[in-house]
Structures are given as structure tokens and as C-alpha cells.
């Protein structure tokens, strides 16, 4: 009997199956929204490990990680604890790492800078697109906006460019956004636009009931669903809790550990 390896993978429709042979769905856009009280970075770590799992075909899945928030050493340290060696994955070209920590677009050339940046991503996708599932992960769209001197319009244009890779090459795109920094003023339209573009939205939030010793927070996953390439307006909403361990994350329904 096929069973998902976790509630998160069930919500994302990543059914592990009997042989753990299934990788990421092709052509999905996943948005992870978090806040200061509850970081969503663990979701990215979980999915990196999932997509680079040795149980998946070593030649079929490539992760392209665009890092604005953390250096490679940070991800390597965390993923090693989770049983995934990113150095080895980078050497065998299953992981392509873009270190963008120092990216800063000049005031008079923001658009040109983003076009050049997108060109690098597009080139990497084209080189690895033959018979491969490519997942593009952006660890912090909020910091991309900082790099563009607060130009939300240019960031939106850049994200639209990236979404063309979904259509052209079937890429899956996963991105993190800090929702609470847009909680007031006209800026809140930006996360709304990101949600509109997403097929799946994952919200990492504190517990409604407050702090708990053995629970770190809750996840709400809105899976809009697709039918023959068209969105299903009914969709599905999944709510469950999680606890972060040293080497993994425990997902469970309230009142349950199974």
C-alpha cells in the first residue's frame, strides 16, 4: 500500500510509493510564507532532502538553490544532520548552488541586473533540462527586494520570468516569503500576488493557543489542485502541527503523534 512519508508530503501530493521512487511534481509553484515567530526555513530543508534523496533516481532530479539568506556552509551543516551530503550532491551536479548573499543592484540598473541574473538561472536550467526534473528554490524573496533597493515591481517581473521556466521546461519553483514584513500599508499586495501565482501555499505560523513546550508551530497548506493543467477552485486545505528535532521534523495532527 502506498503511503506518504509525512503529512507535509501528503499535503504536497508527494506520494513516496512502495519504492520511494517519486520525485517532485513537475510544473508546480510552491510559496512558503513565514513570520518572525515561526521561520519556514525547515520546510526548505525538508524538501531539499526529499528531492535529493538517494531513493530517487540519481539522474532525474536536480535542485537549483538560489540563496539570498544563508551561505552554502549553512545548508550543508543542516542537511548533513538530516543525512544528506550537499557537497557530494553538488559534485555530482544534482545540486546547483547560486550564492546571492552579496547581490546588490545599482539604482540605475536594477532591471538590467535582474535580467542578467535570470539569464544565469535560465542557462543552468537549459543545460540540465534533458530528461530531468528541475526544482528551483529561492530561500528569501524578501531579500531579493532588498537587493533591488525596494523595487517590488522589478521583483515581480523577475518572478514572472522564472515562472516561464515552469511553462517551458516543467520546472518546479519553491520560494520563501516573510509575510509579516508586508503586514501593513500597500506593500501587502505583494504577498497576495505571490499567493495568486502559487499552486500551493504553505503558511508556517505560531500556535493559536500560544507557546507549547513540545510543539513549535503549525502549518497550513493550501493546495489549489489542477485538472488537465487548469486550477481546481475547490482545492484542499491541510492543517497540522510540527516539532523540530535535531535531525528531522515531526509532523502530526493536533492531539496525535502518528
Give the Cα separation of 197 and 13 in Å (integer): 18
Which ranges of the chain have pLDDT less than 50?
1-3, 16-22, 24, 57-58, 227-231, 233, 258
- Can you give the pLDDT at residue 17? 43
**Residue partners of 198: CB distance under 8 A and separation at least 6:** 29, 30, 31, 224
The per-residue pLDDT for 255 is 66
Global confidence as pTM: 0.87
- The predicted structure's pLDDT at residue 80: 94
Q: What is the pLDDT of residue 186?
A: 58
Nearest CA to 194 among 151, 160, 169, 219?
Answer: 160
Domains of the chain, each with CATH number or no CATH: 25-197 (3.40.50.300)
The closest of 153, 193, 188, 189 to 175, measured between CA atoms, is 193
Per-residue pLDDT at 3: 43
* pLDDT recorded at residue 207: 85
Quote the pLDDT of residue 228: 43
Amino acid at each position: 500500500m502506498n503511503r506518504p512519508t509525512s503529512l507535509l508530503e501528503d499535503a504536497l501530493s508527494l506520494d513516496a510509493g512502495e519504492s520511494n521512487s517519486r520525485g517532485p511534481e513537475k510544473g508546480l509553484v510552491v510559496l512558503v510564507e513565514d513570520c518572525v515567530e515561526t521561520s519556514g526555513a525547515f520546510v526548505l530543508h525538508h524538501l531539499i532532502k526529499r528531492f535529493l534523496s538517494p531513493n530517487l533516481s540519481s539522474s532525474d532530479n536536480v535542485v537549483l538553490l538560489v540563496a539570498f539568506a544563508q551561505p552554502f556552509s549553512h545548508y550543508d551543516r543542516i542537511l548533513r544532520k538530516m543525512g544528506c551530503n550537499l557537497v557530494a550532491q553538488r559534485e555530482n551536479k544534482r545540486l546547483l548552488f547560486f550564492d546571492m548573499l552579496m547581490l546588490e543592484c545599482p539604482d540605475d540598473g536594477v532591471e538590467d541586473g535582474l535580467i542578467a541574473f535570470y539569464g544565469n538561472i535560465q542557462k543552468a536550467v537549459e543545460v540540465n533540462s534533458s530528461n530531468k526534473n528541475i526544482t528551483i528554490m529561492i530561500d528569501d524573496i524578501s531579500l531579493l527586494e532588498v537587493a533591488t533597493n525596494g523595487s517590488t515591481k522589478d521583483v515581480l517581473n523577475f518572478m514572472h520570468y522564472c515562472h516561464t521556466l515552469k511553462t517551458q521546461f516543467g520546472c518546479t519553483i519553491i520560494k520563501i516569503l516573510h509575510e509579516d514584513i508586508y503586514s501593513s500599508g500597500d506593500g501587502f499586495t505583494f504577498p497576495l500576488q505571490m499567493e495568486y501565482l502559487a499552486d500551493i501555499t504553505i503558511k508556517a505560523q505560531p500556535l493559536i493557543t500560544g507557546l507549547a513546550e513540545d510543539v513549535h508551530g503549525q502549518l497550513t497548506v493550501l493546495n489549489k489542485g489542477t485538472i488537465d493543467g487548469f486550477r481546481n477552485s475547490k482545492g484542499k486545505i491541510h492543517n497540522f502541527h510540527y516539532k523540530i528535532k535535531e535531525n528531522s521534523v515531526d509532523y502530526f495532527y493536533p492531539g496525535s503523534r502518528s
